[in-house]
Structure 1
Amino acid sequence: MYNAKLPGSWLVDLSHIDLSKVKVGEEWVELDGSMPPSPFTPKGERPTGPARYATPTEAYAVELGYHVAPVEAYVRYDNGRYLDGWYNRLRDAYLATMADLGVDADLPPAGFLAAMYGYNERDPELAIVVSAIKATVKGGLGKLRERTRGEGWRPDIHAAVISRTRINLHRKIVKHAAFTGQYPIAILSDCVVYAAGGASPLDFLPYRDGKPLPGGFKLGVNPGLVKHEGTQSVLWGEEVRERFDAPELNLARYIKDGTVTDIDNGE
């Protein structure tokens, strides 16, 4: 019996989930089923059979309105919020340092975009601190899946963190699509690329009276909110795909400054 409160790994078939009709909140909505990527595979393709998923992924399948029937599970009955203290300290350090660089947590959307422009050039030493905090987060999570001599090897916790992050992003994509009819043209682990009529996120994000779509993308410095990664032209995207003969090139990987050093496999 599936239990969303138990962290672990579940063997379950999610191939029946149809992203053309999903629940958003309490309402069923219809989407273009060919557009939103599946949150259940690395390349966004629909699953073809049973696979192992972390608890947040399976819980999201239920949230979308579909029944799940796992056939096997490895769960942790003894569990807790293992990373809370670590996360809170790093979050507070990041927000305090960014505030010192002029990027406050309560800035309005346009003010936030303006403050983020060139923030790392205002104080090179503080910029190093920001980079160190980000590296600590990424490196700390990476250590959970590295085999070590101590007790730091926790691939189960690593999988749960990645699962929750991926699901949170997909939830925003679905809510944005349901409200606006817009779908991303490229997705990376923490970056989503949309076609827009202008160079600013405000040219397509559905803000009304300064307030974002509930549950959608919201600009801000707090973890969980989004920032502007970069803008490139459609011609840039077509040119790099043609130059590298890579139609599946993931543009989200290179959108920041437009530099493409090598091809990828589209994941």
Structure 2
Amino acid sequence: MILADSGFSGPSINEFFPPALLFAGTPFEINRVTVIRLVATLAVILVFGLGTWRLKLVPGRWQSIIEFGLDFVRVNIAEDLLGKKDGRRFLPLLTTIFFMVLFFNLTSIVPGLNLAGSSVIGVPLVLAIASYVAFIYAGIRHSPAGFFRNALFPPGVPWPLYIIVTPIEVISTFLIRPVTLILRLMMNMVVGHLLLVLFFSGTEWFLFEAPGLFKLFGIGTMVFAFAFTLMEILVGVLQAYIFALLTGVYIQLAVAETH
């Protein structure tokens, strides 16, 4: 009751749909989320541009960090799942997905931004479409005639059971995969943002507006705010890894299904 009577307002889902800043009502509308995405994109370009500028045989500290990140994706995702040949072919896609998701996720903890660029459906949707197209492309490239046949009509299944198996394969393979990629990334970042806003705004209210001893609750909410900030970093990194990893898994399954 104290929070309600004091006018304290918790986080709202409306924060993910801010008012337009420029070009309102047009396809080129720019709002806070768009600005955050532009900042994240610029950050990716600057980090990799500066990190790979004037490459040296003996890398410096910044070049070593960039090479470590690139090697992490190459070794632990691309080549580990797809082997050297296919891993090299799809490495640009997997690297782009990993670092794009990573930078867009981490804007949620940057002061002044405080919102993940991947917390609104546009970015997760685009990345899921890229992952889906790569999955289809890999399957068709390896077996133009047999990819869809093997995916929808698995060998060894008695033909009457295809009445049940084929619709299940259509839903699980071609519909659920991109949807789960979208929802997993977006909802993790939405929930993370709401929790951070709740604890930080709660800390501010308890410390500066709460009456009497209720101010002590601000210490607890501050601790939780710090803990959830660390967790948000961990979740942001894990979601980048999981998105790129699942893209690699789907490509590997597309290739395996053709053998």
Shorter-chain TM band: under 0.3
* Bigger RCO of structures 1 and 2 (CA < 8 A, at least 6 apart): 2
TM-score, scaled relative to structure 2: 0.25
TM-score, scaled relative to structure 1: 0.24
Higher percent of residues as helix: 2
Q: Which has the larger radius of gyration?
A: 2
